[in-house]
Structure 1
């Protein structure tokens, strides 16, 4: 098992998609504090040896969302490395903690840039996605069930 954890996994970024973007102007009050909520999900495309990281950002004001952004990164894993990530029964893809964090760091950085691009020269230009310590956010390896 330790050889899986320490093995270099060869991958490439093959797609970026902004799957959600919305501003709900009525929920934003400039004089009020804002809260940030983030979520990350993982997906898999076994036919193309693909892994997706979906990062969702929501800015709230008075517990009501006023900006929602979701960015997807699609990665292709090299064939030999893909096989090494599969469980023995072939029903689960196992992303090591390091690999999950690495792929997510790349996605978070892109999300930060997308947010900047979307709000530049708008009343929301002061919104910046802060740095996120993914060692506190992702604490265990990610197992993704492959659909039959």
Structure 2
């Protein structure tokens, strides 16, 4: 198991775009992306959620979490000039970031009519299909 730690949480965007939370099923669009820090053993996971109805967008939440991979484990991911971050490790980063987004959304919507909007379970294995190869 690759050792890592979360070293940063950043709220990139939060907006409630409607005055009322309609009593209908909401659509949720999800984006997950990763960036690699050239100067170290760091990966950032970016997630964005857009909640909408057929008529309008209601809420947007975008965050990123930064992760630092333990130096010894990072060396195992390097082969010459190439670094390969395994799909399974990216999935761990995504799961941690989505969980963090749930907490942020709960806090940001507390005492509003949007507090009942949730980020449902997400199978990140369906979204993240490959290793991340850098170099």
Normalising by structure 2, what TM-score?
0.88
Pick one of 66, 90, 93 that aligns with 2:83: 93
Q: RMSD of aligned C-alpha atoms?
A: 1.9
Unpaired runs of at least 5, structure 2: none
- What residue in structure 2 maps to residue 3 of structure 1? none
**Paired residues of 2:7 and 2:67 also in contact (CA < 8 A):** yes
The structure carrying a bigger helix percent of its residues is 1
- Find the aligned partners of 1:125 and 1:29 in 2 and give their Cα distance: 10
- Range with bigger deviation, 115-124 or 134-143: 134-143
- What residue in structure 2 maps to residue 59 of structure 1? 51
Q: How many residues align?
A: 135
Pick one of 128, 133, 138 that aligns with 2:128: 138
CA shift digits 1:55-112 (9 cap, x unpaired): 1111012163221101111011122322322353x2x432112111111111111111
CA shift digits 1:3-48 (9 cap, x unpaired): xxxxx2221111111111111116x661443100101010111213
- Find the aligned partners of 1:45 and 1:29 in 2 and give their Cα distance: 39
Normalising by structure 1, what TM-score?
0.81
